[in-house]
Amino acid sequence: MILDFTLVLGLDTSAALAIVKLASSLLSRYGVESVAFVTGKEDGGGFPTNLGLTEQLSSMSGCCVMDSLDEGLGFLEDVILAKVKPGWEKETFFKEIGGVDEGTRVKAILGELCKVKGGDRERLLKFFQRIEVSAGTVMWRQGDLGDRFILLVKGEMKSCLEEEAGTEERVKEGHFIGELALIMGDEGRRLTTVTSETACVVYEMSRRVWEEMKEAEPKFAVLVMTCACRYLQHRVQHVSNRFVETKCIPI
């Protein structure tokens, strides 16, 4: 079960106590095996309550506290897959994987994002260039022409909308960024400024290579565009829900 608190603006002590009782009841009385509580706080600080709600929930066997809905889904997917194949852990890009080398990790991410398997992952990987990025590097600025897109394999970045509000969003490893502006061609402009928050490892595809891939491997180009469409669908749905519920549109 996933309980998503992304749209919750605040929790008082009585509400926090009720959530603890609810979690205990779900696990013991109703037979729920795993519960993911989503805070919606990208800073990783958990639930901002004096009660220590994050610590209490995390201490319960079968409970976890996640920053985002994607992370919660990834966690529960692993739980389900472990029941089907005991001892096997999905190579998910939602969290760190101990003991998996970078090459295997990149192939797993490409397989997950672009829905490719086996040798196709190696063929797709050849179109990317590995680049190490130091903390504080500006990847591109709002309004720039989309000349490349990247797969963030390690580290964390920040996407900032250059306006008075200074709206920000954290970009965690395991995701494509900048792909839509590249696909749009000469009309594609960056919607935000992206900066590396930590030292990062990225796999980059330039505009030149993208054009070559469309000619040489159109199947892969379609897969990348399909991935971009899924991202866009998720973003539009997320924005629509936020606008209806809070009258606030995030990036």
What pTM was computed for the model?
A: 0.58
Residues 6+ apart with CB under 8 A from 50: 13
Q: What is the mean pLDDT of the chain?
A: 79
Q: Check residue 69 and give its pLDDT.
A: 81
**Residue 86 phi, psi (nearest 5):** -55, 135
Predicted pLDDT at 115: 79
Asked if pLDDT for residue 113 goes beyond 90, the answer is no
pLDDT at 134 over 70: yes
Which pLDDT band holds residue 100 (cuts at 50, 70, 90)? low
| Nearest partner of 53 among 29, 27, 18, judged by Cα | 18
- Residue 93 confidence class, pLDDT cut points 50, 70, 90: very low
pLDDT, tens digit, 9 for 90 and up, residues 30-71: 888 888 898 887 666 678 777 788 888 888 888 888 888 877
Give the separation between CA 189 and CA 225, rounded to whole angstroms. Answer: 17
Token look-up 């209490």 returns 56
10-25: pLDDT as tens digits = 888 888 889 989 888 8
pLDDT at 84: 65
**E strand map for 121-165:** 129-133, 138-140, 148-154, 156-160
- Average of per-residue pLDDT across 214-228: 87
Q: What is the pLDDT of residue 139?
A: 93
pLDDT score of 238 more than 70 = no
Distance CA 239, CA 169 (A): 13
What is the mean predicted confidence (pLDDT) over 175-196? 83
Residue 77's pLDDT is 75
Q: What is the pLDDT of residue 97?
A: 40
Q: Using an 8 Å Cβ cutoff, are 35 and 63 in contact?
A: yes
Region class of 155: left (phi > 0), else alpha (psi between -120 and 50), else beta = left
Task: Give CB contacts under 8 A, 24+ apart, made by 223-231.
Answer: 223/114, 223/115, 223/116, 223/124, 224/114, 224/176, 224/179, 224/183, 225/183, 226/114, 226/115, 227/113, 227/114, 227/115, 227/176, 227/179, 228/176, 228/179, 228/180, 228/183, 231/176, 231/179, 231/180
Q: Is the pLDDT of residue 126 over 60?
A: yes
Instruction: Of 76-80, 202-206, 224-228, 240-244, give the lowest mean pLDDT range.
Output: 240-244
